[in-house]
Structure 1
Amino acid sequence: MQNTSFLELADVKAIAAAAEGEALKNAWAVTIAVVDAGGHLMWLQRLDGAPAISAQIAPAKAHTAALGRRESRIYEEVVNGGRTSFLSAPGVQALLEGGVPIMKDGHCIGAVGVSGVKSSEDAQIARAGIAALKL
């Protein structure tokens, strides 16, 4: 039997603060979502000026990254590579870059999803949030 870590509220707040800092540093209006290992929403923060739809997309990106235990961009690449049948995969909500899993000791303990700017910038913000945990 293995032991695994899990996110606590203090961790989630640290992730959110660091992600918000990265977004504000670059003047990017985004929504930041943090989910647990099961893809369940723990934090949702829509910065001033972020598009309304980003509040739907960010949690979906995080959910996809947590359940798949890989960045959501991987799924985008699969579909863009021609495997459009993957669009019917159950439980996959957002096949767009910007969802990044939080990995500790080989286990996915959650994920961060960001939406509102270019997908690569969304991912940059998510990674900055995760970096606050110093895993």
Structure 2
Amino acid sequence: MASSITRDAALALIEAARAAAHDIGIEVTIAVTDAAGHLKAFERADNAPFLTIDVAVDKAWTAASFGLATHVWNSILTDGKVAQLAHRPRMVSVGGGCPIVESGKVVGAIGISGGNALQDQQAAEIALRALGFEVTS
């Protein structure tokens, strides 16, 4: 059976991401998925716009799908051989989605939406580091 993030770890990531977003000064929605991209934990701040719900979930799904952070997809999609992937539903190529890597294996992903792309990415990376997960780019 493939490794996947535990419920407790997913909830701890939500808490760490909430704290990171607060420190950055943004109201966000946070989604944590398992290794297969299925939602494991979720939270939306009171003042986070409703569009952030789908964006956070899709950022996590995108990061889980190939084990790549969402911010790296912009440069990947410039390659004509894979550019068509940009038209896939749920594919997100802006910062804020990161794979959750433990012992070199993707066990899930986190997606954050509510700030700008860099702020969302920073909040995700801070949360991952706070819990001892690897941060990949």
Common fold by TM > 0.5? yes
Q: Could you say if the C-alpha distance between residues 92 and 46 of structure 1 is closer, same or farther in structure 2, counting changes exceeding 3 Å? A: closer
> Once the 2 structures are TM-superposed, how far is the Cα of residue 117 of structure 1 from its aligned partner?
0.8
Q: Is contact 1:14–1:132 with CA below 8 Å preserved after alignment?
A: no
Compared with structure 1, are the counterparts of its residues 106 and 91 closer, same or farther at alpha carbon in structure 2 (3 Å cutoff)? Answer: farther
Alignment of 1:87 onto 2:80: no
Match of 2:127 among 123, 126, 129: 129
SS for the counterpart of 1:122 is helix
**SS of residue in 2 equivalent to 1:43:** strand
Give the structure 1 partner of residue 27 of structure 2. 29
The DSSP-based 3-state class of the residue aligned with 2:50 is coil
Note the C-alpha offset of 1:44: 1.4
Structure 1 stretches of 5 or more lacking a match?
A: none
**Number of aligned residues:** 131
Inter-partner Cα distance in structure 1 for 2:57 and 2:90: 12
Moved beyond 3 Å, runs of 4+: 81-84
Q: Verify the 8 A CA contact 1:64 1:91 in the aligned structure 2.
A: no
Check the 8 A contact 1:4/1:107 in 2, yes or no.
no
Question: Does residue 113 of structure 2 align to residue 115 of structure 1?
Answer: yes
> What TM-score does the superposition give when structure 2 sets the normalisation length?
0.86
- Uncovered stretches (5+) of structure 2, i.e. residues with no partner: none
Match of 1:52 in 2: 50
2:12 paired residue among 11, 14, 18 = 14
Q: Could you tell me how far 1:92 is from its partner in structure 2?
A: 5.1
* Per-residue deviation, 1:94: 1.6
Q: Classify the secondary structure of the residue corresponding to 1:123.
A: helix
Q: Give the CA deviation at 1:131.
A: 1.8
Structure 2 Cα separation of the partners of residues 69 and 115 of structure 1: 19
Alignment partner, residue 73 of structure 2: 75
Residue 116 (structure 1) shift: 0.8
- 1:4: Cα distance to partner? 5.5
* Pairing partner for 1:43 from 41, 44, 51: 41
* Deviation of the 1:25 alpha carbon: 1.6
Output the CA distance in 2 between the equivalents of 1:77 and 1:127.
Answer: 20
